[in-house]
Amino acid sequence: MMPALPMLRRRADFEAIGRRGTARATPLLVLKWLRTDGAETRIGLSTPRTLGGAVRRNGVRRRLRVLIRERIGDIGPGWDLLLITRPAAADASQAELGAAIDALLRRSDIGR
């Protein structure tokens, strides 16, 4: 089994990224990030109700976690990342979501 991703859980962490973070967007996803002094990179996922019901939102979250887990080694420590899904993400393929994440990481200069 894969190790658990370090997730953002506290409301204050999400709010800090919202206030002081930087953002980039694609038609499928918005990435907000904040540099931290932490030893690990933490991930937050936001799946608004505009995606659909809970089953659909949880499915999108599960797919995103798989994609992030594949890329976490390239990101390196010391980031708080928040991925916000847009309505089109619910119907996107795994490859399209992966390409959107890769584009956002490239454009934000996060990673190696």
Spell out the per-residue pLDDT of the chain, length 112, in tens: 667 789 999 999 999 999 999 999 999 999 999 999 889 999 999 999 999 999 999 999 999 999 999 999 889 899 999 999 999 999 999 999 999 999 999 999 886 5
Distance CA 94, CA 20 (A): 30
pLDDT value of residue 50: 93
Non-local (6+) Cβ contacts of 106 within 8 A are none
The reported pLDDT for the residue numbered 2 is: 63
Tokens (6 digits) for 45? 């996922």
Query: Which domains are delineated in the chain?
Result: 11-107 (3.30.230.10)
pTM of the full structure:
0.92
Residues 13, 16, 19, CA angle at the centre, nearest 5°?
155
Q: Measure the CA–CA gap between 27 and 42, rounded to whole angstroms.
A: 23
Of 75, 82, 83, nearest to 41 by C-alpha is 75
